[in-house]
Amino acid sequence: MASSNAPVRRVDLDPGLPGRDRVKIMLAARGFPTVAGWARSRGFHRTEVFMCLSGDRAYPEIVKALAEETGRPVDVIEALISQQKSAKANGDAA
């Protein structure tokens, strides 16, 4: 395999991605290819996690667990969720 000296792009910090997708990328980097798989491993129902990530419902325990899993502060995870919620309110998110 060829190696490159090109800088690695931090996709999880890409401001062009919706907050939900950025959290999914961070979880995938930690070995959880699906949000549902992560939810099961932590004892959460997948619907609760999806509602939390879409900004439809606040689940502080899920936000805290996401912060622990991704190694990011709680306020960063909350900011990603509120970014998702405001994009949804503006009609920018699915």
In which band, very low, low, confident or very high, does the pLDDT at 20 lie, cut at 50, 70 and 90?
A: confident
**Distance, CA of 51 to CA of 57 (rounded, Å):** 6
Q: Is 84 inside any structural domain?
A: yes
What number is the average pLDDT over the span 80-93? Answer: 70
State residue 66's pLDDT score: 96
Query: What pLDDT is recorded for position 16?
Result: 73
- With a pLDDT cut of 70, the percent of the chain lying above it is 72
Q: What is the mean pLDDT of residues 53-79?
A: 93
Note whether residue 1 is domain-resident. Answer: no
Q: 54 in a domain, yes or no?
A: yes
Q: Which residue has the tokens 């907050």?
A: 19
Total number of domains in the chain = 1
How far apart, in whole angstroms, are the C-alpha atoms of residue 91 and residue 85?
A: 10
Q: Residue 73 belongs to what domain range?
A: 17-89
In a domain, 51, yes or no: yes
Share of the chain above pLDDT 90, in %: 49
72 domain-assigned = yes
The DSSP code for 11 is: G
Q: List Cβ neighbours of 32 (8 Å cut-off, separation of 6 or more).
A: 38, 41, 69
Is residue 2 one of the residues assigned to a domain?
no
